[in-house]
Amino acid sequence: MQKRRVVIVSPALADANNGNWQTARRWQHLLASHAVRIVRQWPDADARDTQDEVMLALHARRSADSVQAWHAQHGQHGLGLALTGTDLYRDIARDPQAQRSLDLAKSLVVLQGLGANALPPQHQSKTRVIYQSTGTRQTLAKTTRHLRVVMVGHLREEKDPLTLMAAARLLPPDSDILIDHIGAPLDARLGDAAQATQVQCPHYRWLGALSHRQTLQRIQRAHLLVHTSRLEGGAHVLMEAICSGTPVLASRIDGNLGLLGADYAGLFEAGDAQGLVDLLLRCRAPQNQNALVAHLGHQCALRAPLFEPQAERAALHRWVQDLWTP
């Protein structure tokens, strides 16, 4: 395989430490046999010297200027576009720049199995699924004294943290269900709501932003990971939970179904706090705990091979090769 000069365009870099940056950094590592660099916008000051051959752009709207600049110089040759949740489930329906990015790219990537369904029919034939990956981590023993639940995600509207907070208020005080909520307050209003919920509900703790290592430790120790998102392109935290032996309770949206499978038993309707509470209580109830949590764990284990690093690495290398091939 010939070494190529690859540029990854990410609207967020290390200072943001969000999903786009994590994806860009992981792809750079998995494509290490090529010469790979990450930029916020292309062309940058180094573009002339590096003579990039392939562009992998994250986000149809936010990377639209870079996509258009590449196309103006190279046409579709070498131009790949990876679509986020806001692309698929919001921007491409109403944003002209996002729509133009779809037209200009030679190839499109979605990060979960149902993502292509959101695209206009004329673009589906040039779309492939590349599942994100994570390492397998040791499954830790769980306490039997209570049910420990963790939710991970910066506090912003798309992640719908208010549904988790509403569920915390609906839980009976004697339910022995403890909730840890990890995420920075990107929306100050949601940060205020988390602080208020913490005061009103002793079984709910908002921990703010933690390091990736600390977050993974919390996931490993939890009985369940809760994911309440209303809009999602393919949440990496679901894979991290699955590959840590921690089952998931998730909102019934395509971004989650495309990772967990349509028959997954741990789903609740988006925004349905009572539905989430009902699932939590079923997981805690002594007569059901072993059966339901074990069943969710079994379903997650069946999905885990999709998220192995070697599978993502092979798919990325095929994508780069196909983008370069005339």
In a domain, 63, yes or no: yes
Query: Which residues of the chain, if any, have pLDDT below 50?
Result: none
CATH code for the domain in which residue 315 is found: 3.40.50.2000
pLDDT of residue 289: 53
In a domain, 56, yes or no: yes
In a domain, 141, yes or no: no
In what helix (H) or strand (E) does residue 35 lie, and over which residues does it extend? strand 35-39
Q: Which domain holds residue 238?
A: 147-306
In what helix (H) or strand (E) does residue 279 lie, and over which residues does it extend? helix 273-284
User: Same domain for 97 and 153?
Assistant: no
pLDDT of residue 224: 97
pLDDT of residue 173: 86
Share the mean pLDDT of the chain: 94
What angle (nearest 5°) sits at the alpha carbon of residue 232, between those of residues 122 and 21?
A: 100
pLDDT digits (tens, 9 = 90+) for 144-185: 889 999 999 999 999 999 999 999 999 998 899 999 999 999
User: Same domain for 122 and 154?
Assistant: no
CA distance 232 to 237: 11
pLDDT of residue 301: 96
pLDDT of residue 17: 66
In a domain, 27, yes or no: yes
Which residues have CB under 8 Å from 302's CB, separation 6+? none
**Which has the closest alpha carbon to 99: 115, 120, 126, 129?**
120
